[in-house]
A and B are shown apart, each in its own frame.
Chain A
Amino acid sequence: MNKHTISVLVNDQPGVLARVAILLGQRGFNIDSITVGRSEEAGLSRMIIVTTGDEKILEQVMKQLHKLVDVIKVQHLSANPMVARELALIKVGANAANRSEISGIVEPFRASIVDVGPNTLVIQATGDSGKIDALIELLRPYGIKELSRTGVTAMMRGTSLAAKIAN
């Protein structure tokens, strides 16, 4: 059972997210995360779906998605080199004594402290899901008060050699 990341280009219609979510639920497919936002083209949105399953399940997910009239294009991103990112906001308990310690943990992750309260810090982190998981684990001892993750958005890497090296 592997994780698969699928990109779905859809008409920006009311209810289209519900259509996709209902379809996946109806067919018994597992959704790890689903994100949606505007795409490069006006009138079209891009959804990034992360799902778990074997090749047969993946094939069915993609075929079933393609049956929806509002779906323009379905791509299996994780079949190729891709960039996948997630954003997380993490509110941890903090006091004057351990603030700099937390800051020291956050820095190597290239995450940033975006809010400082009397007893809390809000940390913003971006990266692949694994990196965010790791940061959360390190912050857990300080007491995670609130956690909000966006789910994965992703894109295939450029195909030219230069682009591969740059990445």
Chain B
Amino acid sequence: MSTETAMAEKRSYFPQDLGKPMTGAQILLRSLLMEGVEYVFGYPGGAVLPIYDSLYGHELKHILTRHEQGAIHAADGYARSTGKPGVVIATSGPGATNLVTGIATAMMDSVPLVCITGNVPQNLIGTDAFQEANICGITFPITKHNYFVRDAAELPRIIREAFHIATTGRPGPVLVDIPKDVSNQVTNYYYPEKVQLRGYNPTTKPNRLQIDRMCQAIKGAKKPVILAGGGVVHSGAEKELLDFVEKTKIPVITTLMGLAGFSGHHPFHLGMPGMHGSYTANHAIQESDLLISIGARFDDRVTGKLSTFARNAKIVHIDVDPAEIGKNVETFVPIVGDVKLVLQAVNEKAEQPETEDWIKQLMEWKRQYPYSYENDDKVIKPQWLIQMIYESTKGEAIITTDVGQHQMWVAQYYLFDNPRSFITSGGLGTMGFGFPAAIGAQFANPDKTVVAITGDGGFQMNMQELAVAAEHNIPVKIVIVNNRYLGMVRQWQELFSQRRYSAVDLSSGPDFVKLAEAYGIKGMRASTPEEALDVWNKALNHEGPVLIDFEVEPEENVFPMVPPGAGLDDMIMGGE
């Protein structure tokens, strides 16, 4: 995979001090350097004191966040924007458990992370000692793998394996739990050249016969469609996907995680599928006779009611994780392999099917049923706001989002052109993700415009990280799409609970501008489209971090919408 190569190139710290005695903490940091790590995000505490002592004056750059959840989402944003693994350090007990949401977020979206946690000394393990938590036990279901280190001599091998596991095959988070005595233990340092894991050999090269079957299926298809997911982004297969589309003239639907995997401008891009997908994308899936899923896992937000999903289609399922194939939908051609390698193999053989009528039909739908809303020149419509941000950044920014309505509007109205330019919590739907993820992405991409588009609800879940933006004066732009509601929940309550707005009113504040100022950050507010344009231009030209509170239409809804449990062609199109 591309990440593997990137890591190998970065692995420039050769073990000159091979065989020299070091503490476990020093070995850990040296091993991180060996893996090409540049930034670690973290928060100290008693059980990681030896590690933080070794970090003092160390060449590894440590970013002190204000909450462990902020640290892990920042590491996640770093990883998603670069393809390199993110690294986070937390102390034992509450430090470690504060990582849990971030670990689960990364697991669901297949993001490579290495999470280092401290633990109490081994003689206290199991005694319910102060700040003890069985973090390995807690994270079994939400890590790709985890380690409890018993001996400092094992640390180099474990760190080497952790990075290997996190970044290869289907990427994911790996946790390494280090008791304090191991961090203090002195042993001779070495670093293994190779990883030897008998039980871990991801299949990356596809089976030739299945590739032939896929090409055969394409040849006979009248209404083929591609469903491209996060796997395209993870394997860096954007170019291969474009080649495949150009060669076969098969239109593309990108899932939320796959949005930046294919140009939003391309005439064959049909939009996003699923609950808030485009009319064209959803109807294309339902009408298609061949659905080629590339690195997507048929999440229920994508499929709607499974029994009616793509009912006329033969499904080709390409995924590096064999367990995804056949998990939710029946597959006609299963292809296990890295998306990039699979597409390279397919591109050698695939021929263009006869799909003129099909494409004509899709283009007609695209013209007839675009994403739409009723604009207003007095109040800020959130859709307009996203379009405005898109136009002013020319699609060149790295956008992170939180979770909810604004996230769906970004998915609908911001057209992504560049790989790794869209960072969002898809699988777990983690509120509080967007802003710290933007911090991580900005550290990794100091020269790019990074915009955190967040809701007033999600932002309040990790707003303490304003301190990090201020401390490092990073030019991250924080856009609060402020409707004074927990918007998506309110929308569901409006549509499915007879407007019984239970516990969604967030109008009591805070004053986000004053909050920003309290942290020493520039804060601005806009409540009309005119003001919005003005403050946004100022924000883009502002050199440091900036927060803009956009007061938008409070009861705007995200449409189209497939009601939960309904089929994809059962769409509420909205009043417009």
Residues in chain A within 8 A of chain B (CB atoms): 10-11, 14-15, 18-19, 22-23, 26, 56, 59-60, 63-64, 66-73
- A26: nearest residue on chain B (CB-CB)? B141
| A68 x B148 contact (CB < 8 A) | no
Interface CB pairs A-B, < 8 A, 20: A10-B199, A11-B198, A11-B199, A14-B148, A15-B137, A15-B140, A22-B140, A59-B326, A60-B323, A60-B326, A60-B327, A63-B322, A63-B323, A63-B325, A63-B326, A64-B323, A67-B323, A71-B199, A72-B198, A72-B199
Using A15-B136, A18-B137, A19-B140 as known contacts, say yes or no to A69 and B199 having CB atoms under 8 A apart.
yes
**Which A residues lie within 8 Å of B321 (CB)?**
67
Q: How far is the CB of A123 from chain B (nearest CB, A)?
A: 37
Chain A residues with Cβ under 8 A from B200's Cβ?
Answer: 69
What are the residues of chain A within 8 A of B322 when measuring CB–CB? 63, 66
Chain B contact residues (Cβ within 8 angstroms of A): what range? 10 to 19
142-160 of chain B: CB within 8 A of chain A: 144-145, 148
**Which A residue sits closest to B197, measured CB to CB?**
A69
Residue of A nearest to B199 (CB): A72
A64 to B321, CA, bound (A): 10
B141 nearest in chain A by CB position: A26
> Which single member of B144, B323, B325 contacts A69 (CB below 8 Å)?
B144
Measured between alpha carbons, how far is A70 from B145 in the docked complex, in Å?
9
Mark contacts of B183-200 with chain A using CB atoms, 8 A cut-off: 1 yes-contact digit, 0 otherwise. Answer: 000000000000001111
Within 8 Å of chain A (Cβ to Cβ): is B439? no
Q: Known pairs A15-B137, A18-B140; list 6 more (Cβ under 8 Å).
A: A14-B148, A23-B141, A56-B326, A63-B325, A66-B323, A71-B199
Q: In the complex, what's the smallest C-beta–C-beta distance from A53 to chain B, in angstroms?
A: 14
Q: How far is the CB of A70 from chain B (nearest CB, A)?
A: 6
Interface residues of B in 107-165 (CB under 8 A from A): 136-137, 140-141, 144-145, 148, 165
* B145 A69 Cβ-Cβ under 8 A: yes
B148 touches A15 (CB 8 A): yes
Q: How far is the CA of A56 from the CA of B198 in the complex (A)?
A: 27
Chain A residue, CB-CB nearest to B321: A67
- Chain B residues at the A interface, C-beta cutoff of 8 Å: 136-137, 140-141, 144-145, 148, 165, 197-200, 321-323, 325-327
- Which chain B residue has the least Cβ–Cβ distance from A10? B199
Measured between C-beta atoms, what is the minimum distance from B126 to chain A in Å?
Answer: 12
Q: With a CB–CB cut-off of 8 A, which chain A residues contact B197?
A: 69
Bound: A73/B198 CA distance, A: 9
Chain B residue with Cβ nearest A43: B198
| B145 proximity list for chain A (CB < 8 A) | 68-70
Q: Residue among B137, B148, B197, B323 with the most chain A CB within 10 A?
A: B323
Chain A residues contacting B136 (CB-CB under 8 Å) are 15
Pair A70/B141 contact, Cβ less than 8 Å = no
Q: Do A22 and B326 touch (CB < 8 A)?
A: no
Cβ-closest chain B residue relative to A14: B148
A68:B141 contact, CB within 8 angstroms: no
Q: How far, in whole Å, are A166 and B210 apart by their CA atoms in the complex? A: 41
Smallest distance from the beta carbon of A28 to chain B beta carbons, Å?
Answer: 12
Bound: A66/B136 CA distance, A: 19
Beta-carbon nearest neighbor of A67 in chain B: B323
Bound: A68/B326 CA distance, A: 18
Residue of A nearest to B325 (CB): A63
Q: How far is the CA of A84 from the CA of B521 in the complex (A)?
A: 69
Report Cα–Cα, A72/B321, bound state, in Å.
16
Known contacts A59-B326, A60-B327, A64-B323; decide if A70 and B140 are in contact (CB<8 Å).
no
Least CB distance from A128 to B in Å reads 30
Q: How far apart sit A56 and B199, CA to CA, in the bound complex (Å)?
A: 23
B323 neighbours in A (Cβ, 8 Å):
60, 63-64, 66-67
A87–B200 CA distance with the chains assembled, in angstroms? 34
Inter-chain CA distance A66–B137, complex, in Å, is 19
* Contact in complex: A70, B199 (CB < 8 Å): yes
Smallest CB separation, A92 vs chain B (Å): 39
From residue B308, how far is it (CB to closest CB) to chain A in Å? 19
CA of A70 to CA of B199, assembled, Å: 6
**In the complex, which residues of chain A have a beta carbon less than 8 angstroms from the beta carbon of B141?**
22-23, 26
In the complex, what's the smallest C-beta–C-beta distance from B450 to chain A, in angstroms? 33
> What distance in Å separates the Cβ of B281 from its nearest Cβ neighbour in chain A?
27
Distance between A31 CB and nearest chain B CB, rounded to angstroms: 16
Which chain B residue lies CB-closest to A22? B140
- Name the B residues within 8 Å of A26 (CB-CB): 141
B210 to chain A, nearest CB (A): 16
Residue of A nearest to B165 (CB): A69
A19 contact set on B, CB distance < 8 A: 140
Residues of A within 8 A of B198 (CB): 11, 72
Chain B residues contacting A68 (CB-CB under 8 Å) are: 145, 199
| B contact residues around A14 at 8 Å (CB) | 148
Bound-complex Cα distance A60 to B141 (A): 16
**What's the Cα separation between A18 and B165 when bound, in Å?**
20
For the complex, give the distance between the alpha carbons of A26 and B107 in Å: 14
- In order of increasing CB-CB distance, the 6 nearest A-B pairs are A63-B323, A69-B145, A72-B199, A22-B140, A26-B141, A69-B200
Closest to B137 in A: A18
- Which residue from chain B places its CB closest to the CB of A71 in the assembled complex? B199
CB distance from B395 to the nearest CB of A (A): 36
Taking the closest CB of chain A, its distance from the CB of B331, in whole angstroms, is 11
A45 to B322, CA, bound (A): 24
How near does chain B come to A57, taking the closest CB pair, in angstroms?
A: 11
Q: With a CB–CB cut-off of 8 A, which chain B residues contact A71? A: 199
| B436 vs chain A, min Cβ distance (A) | 27
Complex-state Cα separation, A33 to B250, whole angstroms: 48
Q: Give the distance in Å from the alpha carbon of A59 to the alpha carbon of B325 in the complex.
A: 10
CB distance from B135 to the nearest CB of A (A): 12
Q: How far is the CB of B508 from chain A (nearest CB, A)?
A: 38
Instruction: A15 to B145: give the CA distance in the assembly, Å.
Output: 12
Closest residue on chain A to residue B145 by CB atoms: A69
B140: A residues at CB distance < 8 A: 15, 18-19, 22-23
Q: Which residues of A contact B137 (CB under 8 A)?
A: 15, 18
Task: Please measure, in the bound complex, the distance between the C-alpha atom of A67 and the C-alpha atom of B202, giving whole angstroms.
Answer: 9
Give A70 to B197 CA distance when docked, in angstroms. Answer: 9
Docked CA distance A70–B200 (Å): 8
